[in-house]
């Protein structure tokens, strides 16, 4: 989604994120059961990433073939706030799922009283230590990292070649020059989907937060204590320049262009770049098989050492509801362990989900995870990554940030007014 707040290789789509995704629903049953139906344990699974709906169904089918006493009821609701609201509604109506996703960090703190302690699970020893950080609270592990994800500007190699671009941009000025070159060649540089609040507020705004945290690891702490501000901060000012660049050289009507539309535009070759992550690889494979793509950074400055990095983290984590029936919890734990230790599960995660593994015991080859995942691995192995600071936003801040940034894009707010609004949101929602 990417689906806040998501450094392993480096962090993730937020719960809300869970969401770097489009809104969709795929429900296969009704009300919460007591734990068994027709002699089978029924595991309710709430999935916040629409991109993997088919793959997840296929994977649970493989598991139930080996475990005929278990069946799954999967509900998929993506789209950031839609997914988060749907999950809250299920808990409020006493239909809580047995397995659901959580973005970690601040989101984990918000939901921690619902989590089963998974510290004793066999897969824990196989995970990258940094991949466990988002769901570690008071030394206990409450979630299984789903995968590593990352984002930047995905670019179409054929369109870059058509415009005569031979050097990939690593800085803001180079990105601007490439945009001009693409436009001169009759190619729309950017696919812009600012109808989605998380594209601006989580993934976009994460970039200045990441730069600033690299300079001063206490920046977010200072926001919480009221000693730091977004308004007037150099990196946040730079972010508005990047937004302006995408609008100037992007598709028409960015505020009414949603996730599916912007990805489809990019996949169809209508645009040369899109601010998204490796989670779009399955969609690209479906729409335009064999599409030649790669990643370039969301560069804010002209310091290549600073700017030439991708945003990589654990997007979401599978958690188990601690109040679920014991039979459900047992089956849920067994399924999560099977998913990351069995050959069937490991193969599916890299070949079908196109996931960059969060586990040392799962190998991912470039031909399995696709060119976007392969580029993320290259950046990660070179240490050229930033983590996802948006997973540290106060609960609910992302949506408000998104509304303020959308008002800026629409011309209703100036940069200064928008930065003031971002500070006001943080001050209001911080714990």
38-49 pLDDT tens trace: 678 999 999 998
- Per-residue confidence band for 14, with pLDDT thresholds at 50, 70 and 90: very low
Cβ pair 249, 266 in contact under 8 A? no
Q: Exposed/middle/buried for 411, CB within 10 Å: 0-12, 13-18, 19+? A: exposed
Amino acid 79: pLDDT: 60
- Dihedral of the alpha carbons of 163, 165, 170, 171, in degrees to the nearest 10: -60
- Per-residue confidence band for 80, with pLDDT thresholds at 50, 70 and 90: low
Amino acid 207: pLDDT: 98
- Per-residue confidence band for 431, with pLDDT thresholds at 50, 70 and 90: confident
pLDDT digits (tens, 9 = 90+) for 189-210: 999 999 999 999 999 999 999 9
User: What CATH code would you report for 150-311+388-429?
Assistant: 3.40.190.10
pLDDT digits (tens, 9 = 90+) for 317-368: 999 999 999 999 999 999 999 999 999 999 999 999 989 999 989 989 888 8
Amino acid 354: pLDDT: 86
What would the mean pLDDT of 358-380 be, rounded to a whole number?
91
Q: Which CATH superfamily is domain 25-148+314-362 in?
A: Periplasmic binding protein-like II (3.40.190.10)
- What length is written for the chain? 431
Amino acid 35: pLDDT: 54
Amino acid 51: pLDDT: 83
Amino acid 222: pLDDT: 97
- Per-residue confidence band for 8, with pLDDT thresholds at 50, 70 and 90: very low
- Per-residue confidence band for 81, with pLDDT thresholds at 50, 70 and 90: low
Amino acid 383: pLDDT: 83
pLDDT at 401 over 90: yes
Amino acid 75: pLDDT: 95
Amino acid 282: pLDDT: 87
Cβ pair 79, 21 in contact under 8 A? yes
Per-domain residue ranges for the chain?
Answer: 25-148+314-362, 150-311+388-429
Token duo for residue 242: 């990047």
Cβ pair 327, 33 in contact under 8 A? no
pLDDT digits (tens, 9 = 90+) for 210-266: 999 999 999 999 999 999 999 999 999 999 999 999 999 999 999 999 999 999 999
Amino acid 13: pLDDT: 33
Q: What is the DSSP string of 337-348?
A: HHHHHSHHHHHH
- Dihedral of the alpha carbons of 162, 163, 164, 169, in degrees to the nearest 10: -120
The answer to whether the Cα torsion of 263, 266, 271, 276 is positive or negative is positive
Do the two domains 25-148+314-362 and 150-311+388-429 of this chain adopt the same fold?
A: yes
Share of the chain above pLDDT 70, in %: 90
The answer to whether the Cα torsion of 233, 237, 242, 246 is positive or negative is positive
pLDDT digits (tens, 9 = 90+) for 146-203: 999 999 999 999 999 999 999 999 999 999 999 999 999 999 999 999 999 999 999 9
């Amino acid at each position: 989604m990417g689906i806040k707040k998501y450094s392993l290789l480096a962090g993730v789509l937020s719960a809300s994120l869970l969401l770097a995704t489009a809104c969709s629903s795929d429900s296969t049953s009704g009300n919460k059961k007591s734990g068994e139906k027709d002699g089978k344990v029924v595991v309710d699974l709430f999935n916040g990433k629409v991109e993997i709906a088919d793959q997840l169904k296929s994977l649970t089918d493989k598991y139930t073939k080996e475990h005929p006493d278990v069946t799954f009821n999967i509900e998929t609701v993506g789209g950031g706030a839609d997914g988060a609201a749907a999950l809250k509604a299920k808990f409020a109506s006493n239909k809580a799922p047995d397995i659901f996703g959580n973005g970690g960090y601040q989101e984990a703190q918000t939901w921690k009283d619902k989590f089963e302690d998974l510290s004793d699970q066999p897969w824990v020893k196989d995970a990258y230590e940094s991949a466990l950080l988002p769901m570690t609270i008071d030394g206990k592990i409450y979630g299984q990292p789903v995968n590593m994800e990352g984002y930047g500007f995905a670019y179409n190699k054929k369109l870059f070649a058509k415009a005569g671009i031979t050097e990939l941009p690593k800085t803001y000025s180079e990105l601007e020059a490439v945009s001009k070159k693409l436009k001169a060649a009759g190619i729309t540089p950017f696919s812009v989907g600012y109808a989605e609040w998380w594209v601006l507020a989580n993934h976009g705004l994460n970039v200045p937060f990441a730069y600033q945290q690299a300079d001063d690891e206490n920046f977010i702490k200072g926001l919480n204590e009221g000693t730091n501000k977004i308004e007037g901060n150099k990196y946040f000012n730079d972010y508005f320049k990047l937004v302006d660049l995408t609008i100037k050289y992007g598709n028409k009507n960015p505020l009414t262009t949603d996730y599916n539309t912007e990805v489809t535009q990019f996949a169809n070759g209508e645009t040369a770049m899109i601010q998204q992550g490796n989670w779009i690889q399955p969609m690209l494979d479906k729409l335009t098989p064999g599409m030649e793509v790669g990643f370039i950074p969301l560069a804010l400055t002209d310091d290549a050492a600073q700017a030439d990095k991708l945003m990589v983290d654990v997007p979401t984590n599978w958690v188990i509801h601690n109040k679920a029936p014991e039979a459900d919890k047992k089956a849920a734990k067994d399924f999560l362990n099977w998913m990351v230790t069995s050959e069937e599960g490991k193969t599916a995660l890299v070949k079908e989900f196109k996931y960059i593994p969060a586990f040392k015991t799962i190998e991912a080859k470039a031909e399995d995870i696709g060119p976007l995942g392969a580029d993320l691995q290259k950046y990660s192995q070179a240490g050229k990554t930033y983590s996802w600071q948006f997973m540290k936003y106060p609960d609910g801040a992302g949506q408000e940030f998104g509304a303020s940034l959308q008002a800026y894009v629409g011309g209703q707010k100036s940069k200064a007014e928008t930065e003031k609004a971002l500070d006001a949101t943080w001050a209001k929602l911080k714990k």
